[in-house]
Amino acid sequence: MWVFIIAIILYVMFRFFRDIEKQKRKIETEGGMRVKYNTLVNYFLTGHQNCKVHQETADSILIGAISYGGQTSFELVQTFGSITIVWRSETPMFGKHKLEWQFPEYTNQEKIINQINSELEDYYADNLQMNI
């Protein structure tokens, strides 16, 4: 009985890791994360003069800016059939904040940018106003 359970677990793990490698090869054939998500990457890189790519793997890219006033980053992660974007911000004045979006893999990147901008504006208005 235990052998059967272990065999099933090993099989599921094998399939999972094989699918991850298959996804990485697919992204590679599409030019990598910078090419596949070129519009998003360029948009985030131009958001602040200190923005740069901090980390890049076969299926993710981390873009952000760090200064004395804090840090802000956008992480794009390619998952099975979708793109997940995580925004993180940390400043001494406003603390830590995080938002996350998930879109189908081939969603128009301009639409993604518009939605993120809109939701960030709402988030700032609701959560990051100074009470003077």
Residue 58 lies in a domain: yes
Count of the separate structural domains present in the chain: 1
pLDDT digits (tens, 9 = 90+) for 23-41: 777 877 788 889 999 999 9
132 falls within a domain: no
Per-chain mean pLDDT for the chain: 87
Q: How far is CA 6 from CA 10, 57, 93, in A?
A: 6, 31, 51
pLDDT digits (tens, 9 = 90+) for 73-99: 999 999 888 999 999 999 888 889 999
Residue 64 placed within a domain: yes
Asked if residue 59 is part of any domain, the answer here is: yes
What domain range is 63 assigned to? 2-127
- The pTM score is 0.80
Q: Is 26 within the bounds of a domain? A: yes
38 belongs to a structural domain:
yes
Quote the pLDDT of residue 132: 44
Split at pLDDT 50, 70, 90, the class of 119 is very high
Cα–Cα distance, 120 to 87 (Å, whole number): 9
Q: Does 8 reside within a domain?
A: yes
